A = this chain, B = another copy of it.
């Protein structure tokens, strides 16, 4: 069916940001040329990062309930604008009748070929899971995991976006990027979908940022437009 499924709410503002990117990337001059989506915005799915770190409730069950809801409604593709949730990508993809895009694959594919060393900005859970480091290494790019102090500022930035405190979040992100630039890091993947929401409030980041949410949106639009979902029958 010509319907994009989005499993969102992780967090809600990141889902809105992702949807805005899908809409803006679609070449359309009227409503009817846009892409149909069914968005399950389910913010009560327990914290993914804490679950990965062994300090939280199970979230695979609730994630699969969301996947089931989307499949029951006949979506033809699923995108999940939450990086940490991709820790369970294999189980999610196995459960879903519709294909599920992988956010880290889309994101890492967009890292410039010239990059030799790229920082990974994500939740503690995403970093522990290691799928970004693996995807970068597979492209012969050295993944740089921020030190504990910087990671604390990244976690604060993410938490602030989830609480709607965008200016404060941008301030923490700015501190992190300044410190990375001082370590001669030239590029970073925003491997958490809250971070680009904060980054919008920065005027001139001191290093190249690759946006996992934007790259997932591009992959989503490419998939759907190739199948004509923007122009039914």
Given A13-B23, A16-B20, A16-B23, the answer on whether A43 and B39 have CB atoms closer than 8 Å is no
Q: When chains A and B are docked, how far (Å) is the Cα of A73 from the Cα of B33?
A: 26
Residue in A33, A42, A43 whose Cβ sees the most chain B Cβ within 10 Å: A43
- Tell me the smallest distance from the CB of A59 to a CB of chain B, in Å: 11
Chain B proximity mask over A203-231: 1 for CB below 8 Å, otherwise 0: 00000000000000000000000000000
Interface size on A, residues (CB 8 A): 40
Q: Which of A112-120, A135-143, A158-166 lies at the binding interface?
A: A158-166
Q: Is the CB of A163 within 8 A of B20?
A: no
**Cβ of A87 under 8 Å from chain B:** no
- Tell me the smallest distance from the CB of A156 to a CB of chain B, in Å: 12
Among candidates B13, B36, B72, residue contacting A43 with C-beta atoms closer than 8 Å: B36
Chain B proximity mask over A126-151: 1 for CB below 8 Å, otherwise 0: 00000000000000000000000000
What are 27 inter-chain pairs, A to B, with CB distance below 8 A? A9-B31, A9-B37, A10-B31, A11-B34, A12-B31, A12-B34, A12-B35, A12-B37, A13-B20, A13-B24, A16-B19, A16-B20, A23-B164, A28-B163, A29-B159, A31-B44, A31-B47, A36-B42, A36-B44, A37-B39, A37-B41, A38-B38, A38-B39, A38-B69, A39-B39, A39-B41, A73-B73
